[in-house]
Amino acid sequence: MLPIRTKKELQEIRSNLAPNSKIGLVPTMGALHSGHASLIKKAVAENKTVIVTIFVNPTQFDNEEDLQKYPTALHDDLRLIADVSPNIMVFVPTTSEMYQSNVIPKKYDFHGLDKVMEGEFRDNHFNGVGTIIETLFSLIRPDVAYFGEKDFQQLRIIQKMTEILKLPVKIIGCPIVRESNGLAMSSRNERLDPSLRLKAGFIYDTLVAAKQKFGTESVHNTKEWVDNEFENHPDFKMEYFEIADVETLTPAKRKIENIKYRGFIAVYANSIRLIDNIALN
Ligand code: PAF
Protein backbone atom coordinates (compact mmCIF):
# COMPACT_ATOMS: atom_id res chain seq x y z
CA MET A 1 0.00 0.00 0.00
CA LEU A 2 1.57 3.27 -1.17
CA PRO A 3 0.43 6.28 0.84
CA ILE A 4 -0.77 9.41 -0.91
CA ARG A 5 1.66 12.22 -0.05
CA THR A 6 0.34 15.38 -1.67
CA LYS A 7 -2.95 17.28 -1.63
CA LYS A 8 -2.82 17.44 -5.44
CA GLU A 9 -2.62 13.65 -5.74
CA LEU A 10 -5.40 13.25 -3.17
CA GLN A 11 -7.66 15.68 -5.01
CA GLU A 12 -7.03 13.92 -8.32
CA ILE A 13 -7.95 10.57 -6.80
CA ARG A 14 -10.98 12.14 -5.13
CA SER A 15 -12.26 13.70 -8.36
CA ASN A 16 -11.97 10.35 -10.17
CA LEU A 17 -14.21 8.57 -7.65
CA ALA A 18 -17.70 7.74 -8.88
CA PRO A 19 -20.20 10.43 -7.76
CA ASN A 20 -22.25 7.83 -5.88
CA SER A 21 -19.21 6.27 -4.12
CA LYS A 22 -19.94 6.72 -0.41
CA ILE A 23 -16.73 7.97 1.21
CA GLY A 24 -15.79 7.34 4.84
CA LEU A 25 -12.92 9.27 6.43
CA VAL A 26 -10.93 8.26 9.50
CA PRO A 27 -8.59 11.12 10.49
CA THR A 28 -5.72 10.05 12.78
CA MET A 29 -2.34 11.16 14.03
CA GLY A 30 -0.86 7.67 13.49
CA ALA A 31 0.72 5.27 16.03
CA LEU A 32 -2.45 3.32 15.40
CA HIS A 33 -3.91 0.89 17.95
CA SER A 34 -7.04 -1.23 18.31
CA GLY A 35 -9.13 1.87 19.01
CA HIS A 36 -8.23 3.24 15.56
CA ALA A 37 -8.74 -0.23 14.05
CA SER A 38 -12.32 -0.24 15.37
CA LEU A 39 -13.00 3.10 13.61
CA ILE A 40 -11.43 1.88 10.37
CA LYS A 41 -13.41 -1.39 10.46
CA LYS A 42 -16.66 0.50 10.98
CA ALA A 43 -15.79 2.84 8.10
CA VAL A 44 -15.06 -0.14 5.82
CA ALA A 45 -18.35 -1.81 6.77
CA GLU A 46 -20.35 1.35 6.04
CA ASN A 47 -18.68 2.92 2.97
CA LYS A 48 -17.57 2.06 -0.54
CA THR A 49 -14.36 4.10 -0.29
CA VAL A 50 -12.39 4.61 2.91
CA ILE A 51 -9.61 7.15 3.41
CA VAL A 52 -7.44 7.13 6.54
CA THR A 53 -5.27 10.18 7.15
CA ILE A 54 -2.11 10.07 9.24
CA PHE A 55 -0.82 13.48 10.24
CA VAL A 56 0.58 14.67 13.57
CA ASN A 57 -1.07 18.07 13.45
CA PRO A 58 1.24 20.69 15.02
CA THR A 59 -1.44 23.38 15.41
CA GLN A 60 -3.34 21.37 18.04
CA PHE A 61 -0.34 20.95 20.38
CA ASP A 62 0.11 23.56 23.10
CA ASN A 63 3.27 21.89 24.33
CA GLU A 64 6.35 21.53 22.10
CA GLU A 65 7.70 18.53 24.07
CA ASP A 66 4.39 16.65 23.65
CA LEU A 67 4.55 17.30 19.88
CA GLN A 68 8.20 16.23 19.61
CA LYS A 69 7.59 13.05 21.62
CA TYR A 70 4.34 12.09 19.91
CA PRO A 71 4.94 8.50 18.73
CA THR A 72 5.17 7.70 15.03
CA ALA A 73 5.05 4.23 13.49
CA LEU A 74 4.19 4.59 9.81
CA HIS A 75 5.31 1.13 8.77
CA ASP A 76 3.18 -0.61 11.43
CA ASP A 77 0.29 1.79 10.77
CA LEU A 78 0.20 0.88 7.08
CA ARG A 79 0.23 -2.80 7.98
CA LEU A 80 -2.62 -2.41 10.48
CA ILE A 81 -4.68 -0.57 7.84
CA ALA A 82 -3.92 -3.12 5.09
CA ASP A 83 -4.91 -5.92 7.47
CA VAL A 84 -8.36 -4.33 7.82
CA SER A 85 -8.64 -3.97 4.03
CA PRO A 86 -6.06 -3.60 1.24
CA ASN A 87 -8.41 -1.19 -0.58
CA ILE A 88 -8.18 1.59 2.00
CA MET A 89 -6.46 4.76 0.82
CA VAL A 90 -4.01 6.42 3.19
CA PHE A 91 -3.06 10.10 3.08
CA VAL A 92 0.23 10.93 4.84
CA PRO A 93 1.17 14.57 4.21
CA THR A 94 4.08 16.51 5.69
CA THR A 95 3.51 19.65 7.75
CA SER A 96 4.66 21.90 4.89
CA GLU A 97 2.34 20.08 2.49
CA MET A 98 -0.61 20.73 4.80
CA TYR A 99 0.19 24.25 5.99
CA GLN A 100 2.90 25.62 3.65
CA SER A 101 4.69 28.10 5.89
CA ASN A 102 1.52 29.21 7.70
CA VAL A 103 1.47 26.81 10.69
CA ILE A 104 -1.16 28.70 12.68
CA PRO A 105 -4.71 27.64 13.48
CA LYS A 106 -7.85 29.42 12.37
CA LYS A 107 -10.01 30.88 15.19
CA TYR A 108 -13.42 29.26 15.67
CA ASP A 109 -16.50 29.99 17.71
CA PHE A 110 -17.56 26.58 19.03
CA HIS A 111 -20.39 28.10 21.10
CA GLY A 112 -18.51 27.59 24.36
CA LEU A 113 -17.87 23.83 23.93
CA ASP A 114 -14.14 24.60 23.85
CA LYS A 115 -14.03 26.72 26.99
CA VAL A 116 -14.02 23.87 29.51
CA MET A 117 -11.91 20.81 30.36
CA GLU A 118 -9.40 20.17 27.51
CA GLY A 119 -10.02 23.69 26.16
CA GLU A 120 -9.28 25.22 29.54
CA PHE A 121 -6.05 23.31 30.02
CA ARG A 122 -4.78 23.17 26.41
CA ASP A 123 -4.61 26.63 24.93
CA ASN A 124 -5.80 26.82 21.29
CA HIS A 125 -6.04 23.00 21.05
CA PHE A 126 -9.53 22.90 19.53
CA ASN A 127 -8.78 25.71 17.07
CA GLY A 128 -5.97 23.45 15.81
CA VAL A 129 -8.26 20.41 15.63
CA GLY A 130 -10.93 22.46 13.82
CA THR A 131 -8.36 23.80 11.35
CA ILE A 132 -7.03 20.40 10.31
CA ILE A 133 -10.44 18.71 10.22
CA GLU A 134 -12.05 21.48 8.17
CA THR A 135 -9.08 21.29 5.73
CA LEU A 136 -9.36 17.50 5.43
CA PHE A 137 -13.13 17.73 4.92
CA SER A 138 -12.72 20.26 2.12
CA LEU A 139 -9.99 18.19 0.39
CA ILE A 140 -11.72 14.81 0.73
CA ARG A 141 -15.42 15.77 0.87
CA PRO A 142 -16.33 12.62 2.84
CA ASP A 143 -19.94 11.54 3.42
CA VAL A 144 -19.11 10.22 6.88
CA ALA A 145 -16.23 10.79 9.31
CA TYR A 146 -15.39 8.64 12.33
CA PHE A 147 -14.00 9.78 15.70
CA GLY A 148 -13.37 7.93 18.96
CA GLU A 149 -15.32 8.78 22.11
CA LYS A 150 -12.10 8.84 24.15
CA ASP A 151 -11.83 12.40 22.88
CA PHE A 152 -15.51 13.03 23.59
CA GLN A 153 -15.14 16.82 23.78
CA GLN A 154 -13.34 16.79 20.41
CA LEU A 155 -16.17 14.71 18.95
CA ARG A 156 -18.83 17.17 20.19
CA ILE A 157 -16.80 20.14 18.89
CA ILE A 158 -16.38 18.60 15.44
CA GLN A 159 -20.14 17.90 15.37
CA LYS A 160 -20.75 21.54 16.32
CA MET A 161 -18.31 22.81 13.67
CA THR A 162 -20.00 20.83 10.88
CA GLU A 163 -23.38 22.12 12.08
CA ILE A 164 -22.22 25.79 12.19
CA LEU A 165 -20.37 25.64 8.86
CA LYS A 166 -23.15 23.50 7.33
CA LEU A 167 -20.63 20.92 6.09
CA PRO A 168 -22.35 17.98 4.36
CA VAL A 169 -20.67 15.25 6.42
CA LYS A 170 -22.11 12.93 9.05
CA ILE A 171 -19.98 12.66 12.20
CA ILE A 172 -20.00 9.28 13.91
CA GLY A 173 -18.67 8.70 17.43
CA CYS A 174 -17.33 5.23 18.25
CA PRO A 175 -17.00 3.63 21.71
CA ILE A 176 -13.73 3.75 23.64
CA VAL A 177 -11.58 0.64 23.23
CA ARG A 178 -9.65 -0.34 26.37
CA GLU A 179 -6.54 -2.30 27.27
CA SER A 180 -7.12 -5.40 29.41
CA ASN A 181 -6.71 -3.38 32.65
CA GLY A 182 -9.30 -0.83 31.49
CA LEU A 183 -6.86 1.90 30.41
CA ALA A 184 -8.36 3.74 27.41
CA MET A 185 -6.35 2.97 24.26
CA SER A 186 -4.22 5.94 23.27
CA SER A 187 -1.09 6.41 21.18
CA ARG A 188 0.42 8.11 24.25
CA ASN A 189 0.19 4.83 26.23
CA GLU A 190 3.31 3.74 24.31
CA ARG A 191 5.26 6.30 26.32
CA LEU A 192 4.30 4.78 29.70
CA ASP A 193 6.78 2.33 31.18
CA PRO A 194 5.21 -1.15 31.53
CA SER A 195 4.62 -1.01 35.29
CA LEU A 196 3.00 2.43 35.11
CA ARG A 197 0.91 1.31 32.15
CA LEU A 198 -0.42 -1.54 34.24
CA LYS A 199 -1.11 0.74 37.21
CA ALA A 200 -2.94 3.20 34.94
CA GLY A 201 -5.95 0.88 35.01
CA PHE A 202 -6.62 2.86 38.20
CA ILE A 203 -7.99 5.73 36.09
CA TYR A 204 -10.79 3.64 34.59
CA ASP A 205 -11.44 1.81 37.89
CA THR A 206 -11.98 5.22 39.50
CA LEU A 207 -14.36 6.31 36.72
CA VAL A 208 -16.39 3.12 37.11
CA ALA A 209 -16.59 3.63 40.88
CA ALA A 210 -17.53 7.30 40.34
CA LYS A 211 -20.37 6.23 38.08
CA GLN A 212 -21.67 4.00 40.84
CA LYS A 213 -21.37 6.83 43.39
CA PHE A 214 -23.12 9.25 41.06
CA GLY A 215 -26.18 6.94 41.16
CA THR A 216 -26.79 7.87 44.82
CA GLU A 217 -24.54 10.85 45.62
CA SER A 218 -24.52 14.50 44.56
CA VAL A 219 -22.28 16.00 41.85
CA HIS A 220 -20.22 17.67 44.57
CA ASN A 221 -19.70 14.48 46.61
CA THR A 222 -18.83 12.41 43.55
CA LYS A 223 -16.23 14.97 42.45
CA GLU A 224 -14.80 15.25 45.94
CA TRP A 225 -14.49 11.47 46.15
CA VAL A 226 -12.57 11.31 42.85
CA ASP A 227 -10.28 14.19 43.94
CA ASN A 228 -9.44 12.26 47.12
CA GLU A 229 -8.73 9.02 45.27
CA PHE A 230 -6.08 10.81 43.18
CA GLU A 231 -4.69 12.89 46.00
CA ASN A 232 -3.85 9.64 47.76
CA HIS A 233 -2.26 8.02 44.72
CA PRO A 234 1.55 8.23 44.44
CA ASP A 235 1.78 7.70 40.66
CA PHE A 236 -0.88 9.92 39.14
CA LYS A 237 -1.56 13.62 39.31
CA MET A 238 -5.11 14.55 38.38
CA GLU A 239 -5.51 17.72 36.30
CA TYR A 240 -9.30 17.76 36.37
CA PHE A 241 -12.34 15.59 36.93
CA GLU A 242 -15.50 17.20 35.66
CA ILE A 243 -19.10 16.07 35.47
CA ALA A 244 -20.69 17.69 32.43
CA ASP A 245 -23.86 17.68 30.36
CA VAL A 246 -23.13 15.53 27.26
CA GLU A 247 -24.85 18.00 24.91
CA THR A 248 -23.50 21.38 26.05
CA LEU A 249 -20.44 20.11 27.99
CA THR A 250 -21.40 22.61 30.69
CA PRO A 251 -19.95 21.44 34.03
CA ALA A 252 -22.80 20.38 36.34
CA LYS A 253 -23.32 21.94 39.76
CA ARG A 254 -26.24 19.69 40.66
CA LYS A 255 -28.14 16.89 38.93
CA ILE A 256 -31.04 17.95 36.72
CA GLU A 257 -33.65 15.44 35.64
CA ASN A 258 -33.49 14.17 32.04
CA ILE A 259 -29.97 15.53 31.49
CA LYS A 260 -27.35 12.99 30.47
CA TYR A 261 -24.01 13.41 32.22
CA ARG A 262 -20.50 12.16 31.57
CA GLY A 263 -17.49 12.17 33.85
CA PHE A 264 -14.33 13.55 32.18
CA ILE A 265 -10.83 13.15 33.53
CA ALA A 266 -7.28 14.23 32.66
CA VAL A 267 -4.37 12.72 34.58
CA TYR A 268 -0.61 13.01 34.44
CA ALA A 269 1.48 9.86 34.76
CA ASN A 270 4.98 11.38 35.02
CA SER A 271 4.93 13.85 32.12
CA ILE A 272 2.45 11.83 30.07
CA ARG A 273 -1.06 13.23 29.91
CA LEU A 274 -3.91 10.73 29.73
CA ILE A 275 -7.63 11.44 29.29
CA ASP A 276 -10.72 9.28 29.66
CA ASN A 277 -14.47 9.63 30.18
CA ILE A 278 -17.51 7.61 31.14
CA ALA A 279 -21.29 7.91 30.74
CA LEU A 280 -22.66 8.44 34.26
CA ASN A 281 -26.41 7.93 33.75
O1 PAF B 1 -7.98 12.55 17.66
C2 PAF B 1 -6.96 12.75 16.94
O3 PAF B 1 -6.13 11.86 16.70
C4 PAF B 1 -6.73 14.13 16.34
O5 PAF B 1 -7.13 15.13 17.22
C6 PAF B 1 -7.41 14.31 14.96
C7 PAF B 1 -8.91 14.20 15.06
C8 PAF B 1 -6.88 13.26 13.99
C9 PAF B 1 -7.07 15.70 14.39
O10 PAF B 1 -5.69 15.87 14.23
pLDDT digits (tens, 9 = 90+) for 22-59: 999 999 999 999 999 999 999 999 999 999 999 999 99
Please determine, for residue 123, whether its predicted confidence score (pLDDT) is greater than 90: no
96 — pLDDT class (breaks 50, 70, 90) = very high
CA–CA dist 268, 66 (Å, integer) = 12
Which CATH superfamily groups domain 187-279? Pantoate-beta-alanine ligase, C-terminal domain (3.30.1300.10)
Q: Give the model confidence (pLDDT) of 160-215 as tens digits.
A: 999 999 999 999 999 999 999 999 999 999 999 999 999 999 999 999 999 999 99
- Evaluate: CB of 43 within 6 angstroms of ligand 1: no
Percent of the chain topping pLDDT 70 = 100
| Whether residue 75 lies in the annotated active site | no
- CA quadruple 143, 146, 152, 156: dihedral, nearest 10: 0
Percent of the chain topping pLDDT 90 = 98
- Evaluate: CB of 136 within 6 angstroms of ligand 1: no
Please determine, for residue 1, whether its predicted confidence score (pLDDT) is greater than 90: no
- Bridge partners of residue 136, in order along the sequence: none
Determine the average pLDDT of the residues in 257-277.
Answer: 97
CATH code of the domain made up of 7-174: 3.40.50.620
Do 45 and 121 contact (CB within 8 A), yes or no?
Answer: no
Determine the average pLDDT of the residues in 111-125.
Answer: 95
Please determine, for residue 2, whether its predicted confidence score (pLDDT) is greater than 90: no
Give start-end residues of each CATH 3.30.1300.10 domain in the chain.
187-279
Do 262 and 219 contact (CB within 8 A), yes or no?
Answer: no
Do 90 and 52 contact (CB within 8 A), yes or no?
Answer: yes
Do 279 and 245 contact (CB within 8 A), yes or no?
Answer: no
Determine the average pLDDT of the residues in 71-84.
Answer: 98
Name the closest-CA residue to atom 2, ligand 1.
28
- Evaluate: CB of 127 within 6 angstroms of ligand 1: no
Do 177 and 261 contact (CB within 8 A), yes or no?
Answer: no
Question: What is the per-residue pLDDT for 186?
Answer: 98
